Amino acid sequence: MRWIDGLEGAAGERLPEAVHRYFRQGSAAGVSVGEAVAAWSAYRFRPRVLNDVSSIDLKTTVLGVPVDAPILVAPSTMQRMADPEGELAMARGVSAAGSVLGVSSNAGTKFAELGTTGVPWWLQIYVVRNREITRQMLDAAVEAGARAIVLTVDTPVVGRKEDDGPTVWDLVQPGQLLANLPVGEWTNDDLAKADDLNPDVIGWLAERTGLPVVVKGVLRGDDAKRCADAGAGGIIVSNHGGRQLDGSIPTAQALPEVAEALAGSGVELYVDGGIRRGEHILTALALGARAVFVGRPALWALTVESAPGVTRLLTDLAEELAHALRLSGHSSPSSLTPDLITSITNL
């Protein structure tokens, strides 16, 4: 069995059941989270032959940041429940793999501490109702060296989770999340997700920070075009790991339409959700993604082997991608085109 395939089970042996459930669960009936992996595996390849694949080069850039492979780590919360050092351990693992780390605005680690690891990192931000909280968090991230802002747009409210028994919220301890919440007497209403956003928020974030803005949570071509027109530097095709509107289409199905909408725009395209194999990454890159993000697998790796586990996860996936590239008749992701992929089969 692949090491990656055993990670979730191994993590489950180490985590309290409520935490393990929180990491793995989707919203409502779990339809979207259940379809994610199968949607990538349903694509088929049309490999080329008699091409020189003696040397494979996975290196690329994301928003100008060099990475060793087009495999990045998605922002996620509660990392200190997976490892006592939380985001610091995750950052060290990502840095050792030559990748980029997405950092949740709910992180349990101060932004300033991340700089000690040398990892290039992007801040994922939820714009909240009290914009002063968001402004101060953005300013702190810029001061600490964030390279981009990832605006999550699929969360006007948090998706309903159907828990049975104790939840992660019964176990969370002070300091395990919201380490970067500005000092103040904030109410729950202040911290609630803003539900009045429009594309103008993209320009506001860019102006406030001077950083490129990547919009996360797009599943439609027309929405991607609206974001691009508003100044987005990147788009992440994402359904929030199946944790928001249950029944949302798999990202594997959404990616081609979004890629077509962004063609020629210069906006960089990324995708997350259900990516577990080098062949999945090959599919995503051929369909137009510049890089992919992995979320849950990074949490499982962090739980099981801390920073070295995160590094191993990323390097194992990179090795699988290199193998799949060679078999597809390509020597680098830059040569991939959609004609490598044939139509998706039924799930």
- Three-state SS string over 13-72 comes to HHCCHHHHHHHHCCCCCCHHHHHHHHHHHCCEECCCCCCCCCCCCCCEEECCEEECCCEE
- Kind of pairing, strands 65-67 and 60-62? antiparallel
Whether residue 248 contacts residue 278, with contact meaning beta carbons closer than 8 Å, is answered with no
- Which residue among 240, 280, 323, 330 is the active-site one? 240
How many alpha carbons lie under 13 Å from residue 116 in its C-beta half-sphere? 8
Distance of alpha carbon 10 from the chain centroid: 22
Known active-site residue 330: no
Tell me how far apart the alpha carbons of residues 36 and 273 are, in angstroms, rounded to a whole number.
6
Largest CA distance in the chain: 66
Tell me how far apart the alpha carbons of residues 131 and 150 are, in angstroms, rounded to a whole number.
16
DSSP string, 151-216: EE-S-SSPPP----S--GGGT--TTSS-TTPPSS---HHHHSBPS---THHHHHHHHHHSS-EEEE
Sign of CA dihedral 229, 234, 236, 237: positive
Bridge partners for 327 per DSSP: none
Three-class SS of residue 146? coil
Q: Pick from 320, 310, 314: which is nearest to 283 by CA?
A: 320
- Could you identify the residue written with the tokens 């379809």? 35
- Could you identify the residue written with the tokens 């309290």? 16
- Active-site residues: which are they? 240
